[in-house]
Each structure stands twice: as C-alpha cells, then as structure tokens.
Amino acid sequence: MRYKLLIEYDGSRYAGWQLQKKERSIQGELITAVTTVFGQPPVELYGSGRTDAGVHARGQVAHLEIADDRRLRPDQILIKLNSELSHDINILEVEPAHPKFHARFDVKERVYVYEISKRRNAFAKKYVWWVRDPLNIQNMRVAASLLAGFHDFKSFGDVSEPGQSTLVDLHRVDITESEDRIFITISGSHFLWKMVRRMVGILVEVGRGNMTPNEVELFLTEPSRTPAKYTAPPSGLFLQAVYYDK
C-alpha cells in the first residue's frame, strides 16, 4: 500500500533529509519509525527533495510504500508514526496515494522561504539569518526580478548527479517585509544543490550595496564561483510547500 505523507521538521539536529550511514537524517528517522510500527522496513520512502543539513520544512512531502496485512487506517498510521518520532519531526497528514505516485518525480512546483532577521533574536537563532547591516530592499527586489524565469543557474548551484542539467525555471522570486523580518520566497520546478542559499546570499550582497543587480544578471550568462562564497546559512531556509497535479 502506498501513502502520501505531509511532514514538518526542524532540521537543526539533522544532517539533512537524505539517509546517511553515520549521521542522523530525517529520512533515517522516518525509516526507523516505520520499521518499529510495522515490524519491517518500508518498501519505499522518498521525499520530494533532499533538504541540506540544518534546513527546515513546513511542507515536505514523501511517499511511503509498505507491505502490511493489518490495513491500518491513515489516521492510525499518523498517530503511531508520530509516537515513534522525535519532537522535531512531525507528520501532519497521511493519505492513500496512487500506486504509481512518486513524491519526487511527480512534483510540479517547490516553494522555499528564506527568513532574514533585521535584529539579534533570542528565540529564533536556529530559524533565521541575522544580517547586521541595513539592507536596501528595493535593490534586492530588482535583482530578484532578474533571477525569475528560465535560466542557466550553473553559477548558483552544484550538480548532485552526473549529467544533471543546470537549467531551471523559477516561477517567482519575491521579497517581502514584516516588522523585523525579511522573507525571500522562491518557487520553481526544481532546484540545484545549494542554489536557493546562494541566491539568497547574493541578494543580501546587493542589499548591502556590495553588488549591483546588473552584476547578478551576469551570473546567468557567465558562469562564476562567486555566489558560492556568499552562501547563506541553512538556519533561515524552509521548504514551505510542494505542489502536484490534482
């Protein structure tokens, strides 16, 4: 039986989503919980994307394939799995899925939100990037508008698989403010490894006045390793939502 899971997690204590041999991962914790509940490991457990170490999720999606004769209801599976998971991983929904549904390959849009704090914060250090310098939001928005669209993002990401294309269609790159926070929302069909954090880092450099929007645009036509030097910390990044065809 195949199920679709909606999951939220605090990635601070984990080495990312992907299963790893010597470090704790979100996928690894879920596999352990499934094995405990059903008495056997899952046939499949794939997420919509591989969030990096320290990155969080409010709307990660995974599919779970289990071989189980007990036929537990989705609400029972949710309760039993959550009872085995640590406090910083929480399954929000469990629903039956089509036998061929794939959480990663069927994605139409992924939405990430990066949160920047304008001030030192006693409670949110693990969930924001405190940028001490004043930022020119208008210049950042101009640069963000140049990044939206279908481009070669080789300058911004690393290829995680041999032969992987660096062409990405970004649906939007929006920057909003709310009191002492700045939110950078980036949505697209898919993302390269570290791409979102490097985009954020470059946008912050524009905000600081260390870089112009025109310089940012050149990264799309002239491959450069410069964005890698300004990679934003993982603490402020959230996988906000994942969308599929109805």
| Residues classed as catalytic | 52
Would you tell me how many other CB atoms lie within 10 Å of the CB of residue 229?
A: 11
Relative orientation angle of helices 26-38 and 74-84, to the nearest 10 degrees: 120
Provide the Cα torsion 29, 31, 34, 38; round to 10°: -140
Strand pairing category for 237-244 and 107-117? antiparallel
DSSP string, 54-118: T-EEEEEEEEEE---SS---HHHHHHHHHHHS-TTEEEEEEEE--TT--TTTTEEEEEEEEEEES
- C-alpha to C-alpha distance for 114 and 165, rounded to whole angstroms: 24
- C-alpha to C-alpha distance for 4 and 64, rounded to whole angstroms: 6
Give me the helices (H) in the chain, please. 26-38, 74-84, 137-147, 195-208, 213-218, 226-229
